[in-house]
Amino acid sequence: MDFSLFYFADGSVGDSDAGDSGGGRYDLLLEGAKYADTHGFSAVWTPERHFHPFGGLYPNPSVTGAAVAAVTERVAVRAGSVVAPLHHPLRIAEEWSVVDNLSGGRAGLSLASGWNAVDFALRPEGYAGRKTAVIEAVGQVRALWRGEPLAVTDGAGNPAEVRVFPPPVQRELPIWVTSAGGAETFRAAGAAGAGVLTHLLGQDIDQLTEKIALYREALAQRPGHDGRPGHVALMLHTYLGDDPEKVRETVREPFTAYLKSSFGLIARSAGSILSGFDPDKLRESDIDFLVRRSFDTYYNTSGLFGTVEQASAVVERARAAGVDELACLIDFGVGKDEVLTGLDHLDALREATT
């Protein structure tokens, strides 16, 4: 099992620690990346999020990835994820080629379809076809990465062919497709020969096991398949310590606030597929109740919390499901110093279960 660090902070959490200027908002990212680099972790992932405090520290993973590249030497630098329908594939390939050069060939990215309609204020026309666009982008970005030209129309209306500069260091770009749990996305990622980045929001480990089987089946049936098993990375909120009760109380308040920050976005996404569901009509007390229940569910079944011994059981369940990497989300509101101290326990877990 590989272990990596994943970041998806609520931009409104921890501002008091950062000071009025917000100058410390990225300290945990950089200090955690340095730790991962020197302790055998596989990668550092940063996402793409727009126009909302939830995840809002990360509007461009190539920028944060470049910062991670500058302070590390070994660990892979990954996007988790680039919202492909918001960007031209040329722009994705260009930006990440720069990161690949800055890191000496350590770049990788997961492409996502996007799920929040407001994000598409950047490119409204990309929203309707976002599900198919993400798989198309896998092939387009790969081709550009290899140096193949792309036919375009220039500003004067003339046909042209363009290539990406600077050339990347890696010949092949490590690439994943982000899935919120849809079986078809797992199949599509396998058919495209990409990895999968997923989480346990809206699916349990048994359901994930079935979808990973679908992914590997589609991968094996892909023309020209080289026999490799693919790669599945599972994001889990993570905080470990010596005392299970102390860990629970340490994470309860910040993680509950984190879940509440995300509630509106997730509920509106659910409302788009659940007829008659309107999250704006929920009372504050109803939201608080749902969030408290969510905390218990996440803590007990969908996160990497507690002691190394407790977390080892989670690792083994994930391994049995077919997961190759645990992407440990550490920036959900626990204080920076406590998180960094907790990384020693996570590293012990990594050594015990790798």
Report residue 18's pLDDT band, with 50, 70 and 90 as the boundaries.
very low
Q: With 60 as the cut, is the pLDDT of residue 259 above it?
A: yes
What pLDDT, on the 0 to 100 scale, is given for residue 335?
94
Answer yes or no: pTM beyond 0.75. Answer: yes
What is the C-alpha to C-alpha distance for residues 312 and 250, in angstroms, rounded to an integer?
20
As a whole number of Å, the CA-based R_g of the chain is 20
Residue-wise pLDDT tens digits, 171-220 = 999 999 999 899 999 999 999 999 999 999 878 999 999 999 999 999 99
